[in-house]
Amino acid sequence: MAELETEGVSRRGFLKVCSLAAGAVGLPAWAGEKMAEKAAGSAKPPVIWLHFQECTGCSESLLRTSAPDVAELILGLVSLDYHETLMVPSGYQAEKSLEESMEKNAGNYVLVVEGAIPTKDNGIYCRVGGHTAVETAKKVAAKAAAVISIGSCASWGGIPSADPNPTGAVGVDKVVTGKPVVNIPGCPANPYNLLGTVLQFATFGTLPALDGLGRPKFAYARTIHEDCPRRPHFDAGRFAQKYGDEGHREGYCLYKLGCKGPATHANCSLNHFVEMPGAWPVGIGHPCVGCTEQKIGFRVPLHDTVDVERPTAPGTYPPIHPDHSVITPAVVGASAAIVGALVGAGYVATKKITADSEKHAGKE
Amino acid sequence: MSDHDHPRAIGGKPFDPLMKTLLAIFGVSAVVMVYRFFTGVGPVSNMTDGFTWGIWEPVNVVVFTGIGAGAYGVALLCYLLNKGKYHVLVRPAVLLGAICYTLGASSIVIALGRYWNSYWLAVPTMWNLSSALLEVAVCVLSYVAVLWIEVLPSVLDGAAQSKSSAWSQLGRTWGPLLAKAMPYIIALAILLPTMHQSSLGGLLLIAGPKVHPLWHTALLPTLFLISCLSMGYGAVVVLTTILNLTWKAKHDQRLFAEMSKVNAGLLLLYVVLRLGDIAIHGKLAYLGFNGYTLLFVVEIALFLVPAFMFFSPRVQQNKGRLFGAALLTVAAGASYRVDTYLSVYRPAPGWDYFPSFGEIIVTIGMAAIGMAIFIFISRMFPVVVVETRDHSHAGSGRVLTAGSR
Amino acid sequence: MSISRRSLLKGAVVAGAATALVGRAEAREEVEPRPDAVGMLYDSTRCIGCRACVTRCKEANSLPYDRTAEGIHDAPTDLNSNTKNIIKVWTAGEKSAFTKQQCMHCVDPSCVSVCMMGALHKEGEGKRDFAGEKKGTGVVLYDKGTCVGCRYCQIACAFNVPKFEWFEAFPLIVKCELCRHRGDPKKEGPLAIANPACCEACPREAVVYGKREALLAEAKRRLAEDPKRYNGLIYGEKEGGGTQVLYLAGAGVTFKQLGMPELPEESSASFSERVSHAPYLHGITPIALYGAMAFVIRRNKSKEEASEHHGEGK
């Protein structure tokens, strides 16, 4: 602890961070304390961070988190052994520290991958230090305890894999086999979801429960729509019709502008970015683009609307006796014609037989 | 009975233009019916949870069987009251009844949602005896069988006269045996319709809150029983008149006039019971300037007008007028039945109903195939008693179109 | 001939009179609420229209959504094959009141009376042996194995509760079965049969689950405690022979306004069975009638044949 405090981190502040992270993973407060204890001790979880086809947005958003700030994070909570953007060394020196860390922490370190891996033409579209992304990922993952794909690119290709996917970009779990891979999609991913996962692993040696797409359930089980602060407007049928119209200025629901919230699983509506209230797309008046969904983000056009996954009742009630009318004029007309024809035929037939019969009687 | 009163097969080309038309109409409806089995009842009908029986039950079952009750009415006169002169009418009436009831029963299968479970109907331990519909279902199904057994003598007669020796042997062996069993079958053929025709009215007793008070009464079973007889007698007159025009079927005006007097009594009984019931239960207040009153008045008029017509000598002596009056009795019964089941049935505010094209086509198709079967069987087997003094074959052109509603 | 006819008429008169007399004596008894009957009490004055019960009902019964035309809301307008429970609103000017619709679990249900093979039946009283069904709770259950889909239940039910899957090739009748599949064995006595999700979801105990007797007592207690709050009546205590789901409504609101039919104290089932069963005398009438008719017909026929001298009967 003394070591940490010299870095300008108070014990209380550190505990708070750990509690926040524990809360994010769905663990009780005592787990936060335990995480803090563990992290304060010597055994900080070693982390190796690889960058492939990406924009570094995920790293950037991690850096902009204020609690913990970047120093706290990389010096106090984890032991970040290799991160191309943040590390001081470069070139051969940098590659050496990667090798060293892999040797020293073999089987213990956490591998975080940022960015998609190109597979087309033997993966020549992304090389670092002379090695293709495929080679590096496979090599580093082989000795890792767990692999975390941060961001949508690492999770399943993200933007680089958008049509027509010129480099054959795929997610990490398509390249790395035989290791548990946790996907933390998002563009960028919410840093807390990464932190929670890493700390849980470091403290308890377990990974969080995952959904069908490999996403931690603590963050991705529910849709944005379910916890959206604009939800009452949706239920009441109040929608922004276009950007800047009255409804948009009033903060109405953005569904009709193409919000993908009703089909997008993520905790954005609860855990805003970088602890800034309202710092997330819907908060600033832009529809959710569905970045955490493999089938939506960068696939479905921005302003197309999506199906609502779990619809609930609107803000209006049915009356006691709702209208169930089924009558259409065409069929009424046709039926009238049929009945008319029957009556007419009966009448004509009667007339005719009567006349014939009278004639017959007359003859006899 | 003399020899020339015996029925005989009409013969002739089986596929004349009328037959082709009837089969074509049925073909269209068959498409709808098959479609229904793949998609459910909803897509082909306008039936809703409010009007759950649409027109298939009120028309295909309740009205068709009412028309088919001619078999019941004639059997009652001919066998129970021993009026042998009505024998001439038995076979056509029974065939009409068999066809109408078969159509009613098959319409039910089309309308039933879970038709594959119907086999339970054959297991008496499963019966819920308090269900009026159960009684209707079991009675109607048994009655269909009884009616076709009643049609059998025609078939066996036909077989006996056949050239093929095996076929003829079959007819000669089984004909007399069947004749011996007939009284017990006929007794069943009178008991069953008495039960289920009244139960058809009884079906709606439980829907008290939904049926307009002018129609909902404890007398529903009685009124349905009476109206089935009046419809049945009317239908027999209509049928025989048409058969007379097309195939020179024997048409005994005096017999019809007499039967129609019975019918007039029934019609008047119906009106007296109906009006009396309304008056006694203080329901006259429901009469006023509204649609229900209009329906009610039209209905009562449809019962009263033919009743008085039947008593008039001008009608009794004229084939056409009697035919018209008989048509009116069928219309009277049909309108009473459709009104009770449909027009004055209101599940709750907000619901309404009018049949869809699919439903109408199925109903018309059923009627068409019924006519086709009647024509086919009459051509093949001795059903219709033909006037013997005129042996020239009845041309089916001009008159047929006039008579073929 | 005339003799046989006269005797027949005489016989008919005697039979008719006997029927009328015995029929009255044999009239079906009114069904009383079973002592172990369970049900629900809905208090319209407590309901805030949150519709948690509607959503939870769908979840608990795995019912499909009933999407609006735009597809974004689950908005059934009425009970239907996707909806076993619904909240509706009555409004008149400034005044409004919520109401809840689901199966009323009648004491003497019309649907059970009319169901041909007991597909709709009171718990444990169906036509088949149902494992795990106890007698006495009076919950109206559905057995799809004996349902033929005749939809007579829909005609008979005064509350229009049973619904039909119109757009299915193999449809079912759908209605509230009081969440019998969520039955909770830990609950005491008859209450273990069910555990309605709507009651569990309600944040204000506007709808509660319990024994009918207890609920009736509770309803009376509420009426006595705060008479100004209510219209003073308990719907379902007597209506239509009584129901096992009871309703309270606010002052100045009638149950008719909340969509409840105005029913006499005699149940429709009782009326219908009384009228249509009386003439049958437990099956004696048809058998006697059959015997008599067979006798008359046979005699008539042999007479006719004798008069014809050669057997030409048909």
Task: Walk along chain A (364 residues) and give the pLDDT tens digit of each residue.
Answer: 444 444 555 667 777 777 776 766 666 777 777 777 776 665 678 899 999 999 999 998 888 877 667 777 777 778 888 998 888 888 888 889 899 999 999 888 999 999 999 999 999 999 988 899 999 999 999 999 999 999 999 999 999 999 899 999 999 999 998 888 999 999 999 888 888 888 788 788 889 999 999 999 989 999 999 999 999 888 888 889 999 999 999 999 999 999 999 999 999 998 888 777 888 999 999 999 999 999 999 999 988 888 888 787 777 888 888 888 888 888 888 889 988 998 999 899 888 888 887 877 666 5
Of C51, C54, C78, the CB nearest to A322: C78
Q: What CA–CA distance (Å, rounded) separates A191 from A61?
A: 7
User: What pLDDT does residue B401 have?
Assistant: 33
From B335, which residue of chain A is nearest by alpha-carbon distance? A339
Q: In terms of pTM, does the model score above 0.90? A: no
pLDDT digits (tens, 9 = 90+) for B220-237: 999 999 999 999 999 999
Residues 6+ apart with CB under 8 A from C47: C87, C98, C99, C100, C204, C206, C207
User: What pLDDT does residue A311 have?
Assistant: 80
Residue B115 has pLDDT above 60, yes or no: yes
User: What pLDDT does residue A41 have?
Assistant: 67
Region of residue A244 (left: phi > 0; alpha: psi -120 to 50; beta: else): left
- What distance in Å separates residue A314's CA from the closest CA in chain C? 6
User: What pLDDT does residue A176 have?
Assistant: 92
Q: What CA–CA distance (Å, rounded) separates B111 from B106?
A: 9
Average pLDDT over residues C125-133: 73
User: What pLDDT does residue B388 have?
Assistant: 66
Average pLDDT over residues B120-143: 90
Q: Where are the alpha helices (DSSP H) in chain A?
A: 2-6, 11-25, 29-40, 57-63, 70-71, 91-104, 133-142, 151-156, 172-175, 191-204, 217-220, 231-235, 246-249, 329-363
Residues A17, A72: contact at Cβ < 8 Å?
A: yes
Residues of B whose CB is below 8 A from A318: none
Which token pair is B378?
A: 């009459």
Q: What CA–CA distance (Å, rounded) separates B330 from C312?
A: 33
Q: Do the Cβ atoms of A319 and C257 come within 8 Å?
A: no
Interface of A with B in 22-51 (CB under 8 A): none
φ, ψ of residue B119 in degrees (nearest 5)? -60, -20
Average pLDDT over residues C26-33: 73
User: What pLDDT does residue C27 have?
Assistant: 56
Q: Do the Cβ atoms of B405 and A322 come within 8 Å?
A: no
Using CB atoms, list chains with 3+ pairs below 8 Å to chain B. A, C
Q: Do the Cβ atoms of B364 and A357 come within 8 Å?
A: no
A332 touches chain B (CB under 8 A): yes
Q: What CA–CA distance (Å, rounded) separates A330 from B54?
A: 17
Q: What ipTM is given for this predicted complex?
A: 0.87
The verdict on A210 and A230 lying in the same domain is: no
- What distance in Å separates residue A362's CA from the closest CA in chain B? 12
pLDDT digits (tens, 9 = 90+) for B194-203: 888 988 999 9
From A225, which residue of chain C is nearest by alpha-carbon distance? C72
The verdict on A89 and A192 lying in the same domain is: yes
Residue C25 has pLDDT above 60, yes or no: no
The mean of the pLDDT values for chain B is 86
Q: What CA–CA distance (Å, rounded) separates B319 from B251?
A: 9
User: What pLDDT does residue C19 have?
Assistant: 46
Range of the domain at A244: 222-317
The verdict on A231 and A188 lying in the same domain is: no
The verdict on A157 and A59 lying in the same domain is: yes
pLDDT digits (tens, 9 = 90+) for C201-242: 888 889 999 999 999 999 999 999 999 999 999 999 999 999
Q: What CA–CA distance (Å, rounded) separates B80 from C5?
A: 8
Query: What single-letter DSSP state applies at residue B14?
Result: S
The verdict on A164 and A182 lying in the same domain is: yes
From A359, which residue of chain B is nearest by alpha-carbon distance? B318
B265 touches chain A (CB under 8 A): no
CATH of the domain at A97: 3.40.50.700
Using CB atoms, list chains with 3+ pairs below 8 Å to chain A. B, C
- Mutation test of the interface with chain C: which of B114, B151, B225, B281, choosing the one with the most C Cβ atoms within 10 A? B114
Residue C107 has pLDDT above 90, yes or no: yes
The verdict on A240 and A205 lying in the same domain is: no
Q: What CA–CA distance (Å, rounded) separates C230 from C211?
A: 22
User: What pLDDT does residue A235 have?
Assistant: 84
Q: What CA–CA distance (Å, rounded) separates A212 from A215?
A: 7
User: What pLDDT does residue A10 have?
Assistant: 66
| Domain termination residue (choose one: A219, A238, A266) | A219
Interhelix angle B87-111/B357-380, nearest 10 degrees: 150
pLDDT digits (tens, 9 = 90+) for B344-395: 999 999 899 999 999 999 999 999 999 999 999 888 888 888 876 544 444 3
Residues C102, C270: contact at Cβ < 8 Å?
A: no
Number of Cβ atoms within 10 Å of the Cβ of C25: 8
Residues A134, A119: contact at Cβ < 8 Å?
A: yes
- What distance in Å separates residue C217's CA from the closest CA in chain A? 28
Q: What is the 3-state secondary structure (H, E, C) of chain C?
A: CHHHHHHHHHHHHHHHHHHHHHHHHCCCCCCCCCCCCEEEEEECCCCCCCCHHHHHHHHHCCCCCCECCCCCCECCCCCECCECCEEEEEEECCEEEEEEECCCCECCCHHHHHCCCCCEEECCCCCCCCCCCCCCCCCEEECCCCCCCCCHHHHHCCCCCCEECCCCCCCCEECCCCCHHHCCCCCCHHHHHCCCHHHHHCCCCCEEEEEHHHHHHHHHHHHHHCCCCECCCCECCCHHHCECEEEECECCCCCCCCCCCCCCCCCHHHHHHHHHHHHHHHHHHHHHHHHHHHHHHHHHHHHHHHHHCCCCCC
Considering its fold, how many domains does chain A have in total?
2
From B323, which residue of chain A is nearest by alpha-carbon distance? A350
Q: Do the Cβ atoms of B203 and C152 come within 8 Å?
A: yes
Q: What CA–CA distance (Å, rounded) separates A43 from A26?
A: 23
Q: What CA–CA distance (Å, rounded) separates A127 from A129?
A: 7
B313 touches chain A (CB under 8 A): no
Looking at the domain covering B3-386, what would its CATH class be?
mainly alpha
Of C55, C67, C88, the CB nearest to A320: C88
- Mutation test of the interface with chain A: which of C58, C59, C73, choosing the one with the most A Cβ atoms within 10 A? C73
CATH of the domain at A288: 4.10.480.10
Q: What CA–CA distance (Å, rounded) separates B193 from B223?
A: 14
Residues of A whose CB is below 8 A from B50: 324
The verdict on A197 and A236 lying in the same domain is: no
Q: Do the Cβ atoms of C72 and A311 come within 8 Å?
A: yes
- Residue spans per domain, chain B: 3-386
Domain membership of residue A197 (yes or no) is: yes
Shortest CA distance to B32 belongs to which of B354, B338, B363? B363
Residues B95, B151: contact at Cβ < 8 Å?
A: yes
Q: Do the Cβ atoms of A311 and C54 come within 8 Å?
A: no
Which residue has 């309703």 as its token pair? C247
From A335, which residue of chain B is nearest by alpha-carbon distance? B360
B312 touches chain A (CB under 8 A): no
Residues of A whose CB is below 8 A from C65: 311
Mean pLDDT comparison of A34-38, B162-166, C81-85, C285-289, highest-scoring range:
C81-85
Residues A206, A216: contact at Cβ < 8 Å?
A: no
Residues of C whose CB is below 8 A from A307: 71
Of B84, B91, B120, the CB nearest to C117: B120
Q: Where are the alpha helices (DSSP H) in B83-219?
A: 87-111, 132-160, 165-202
Residues C263, C108: contact at Cβ < 8 Å?
A: no
Q: What CA–CA distance (Å, rounded) separates C14 from B405?
A: 44
Number of Cβ atoms within 10 Å of the Cβ of B344: 20
Q: Do the Cβ atoms of A308 and C73 come within 8 Å?
A: yes
The verdict on A116 and A253 lying in the same domain is: no
Q: What CA–CA distance (Å, rounded) separates B64 from B60?
A: 5
Residues C177, C120: contact at Cβ < 8 Å?
A: no
pLDDT digits (tens, 9 = 90+) for B77-112: 888 787 777 887 888 888 999 999 999 999 888 999
> In terms of C-beta distances under 8 Å and separation of at least 24 residues, what long-range contacts does B309-312 make, across chains too?
B310/B257, B310/B260, B310/B261, B310/B263, B310/B264, B310/B267, B311/B261, B311/B264
Which residue has 């010597």 as its token pair? A42
Shortest CA distance to B223 belongs to which of B259, B276, B187? B276
Which residue has 């949706």 as its token pair? A234
Q: What CA–CA distance (Å, rounded) separates A175 from B300?
A: 85
Residues B205, B218: contact at Cβ < 8 Å?
A: yes
Q: What CA–CA distance (Å, rounded) separates A77 from A29?
A: 17
B178 touches chain C (CB under 8 A): no
Position C80 confidence tier, pLDDT thresholds 50, 70, 90: very high
pLDDT digits (tens, 9 = 90+) for C243-301: 999 999 999 999 999 999 999 999 999 999 888 877 777 778 888 888 888 888 888 87
Query: What single-letter DSSP state applies at residue A223?
Result: B
The verdict on A13 and A156 lying in the same domain is: yes
- Mutation test of the interface with chain C: which of B35, B51, B130, choosing the one with the most C Cβ atoms within 10 A? B130
Residue C62 has pLDDT above 60, yes or no: yes
Q: Do the Cβ atoms of B324 and A325 come within 8 Å?
A: no
Residues 6+ apart with CB under 8 A from A3: none
A337 touches chain B (CB under 8 A): no
Residues of C whose CB is below 8 A from B204: 155
Domain membership of residue A49 (yes or no) is: yes
- Mutation test of the interface with chain C: which of B120, B206, B356, choosing the one with the most C Cβ atoms within 10 A? B206
Position C39 confidence tier, pLDDT thresholds 50, 70, 90: very high
Q: Do the Cβ atoms of A314 and C73 come within 8 Å?
A: yes
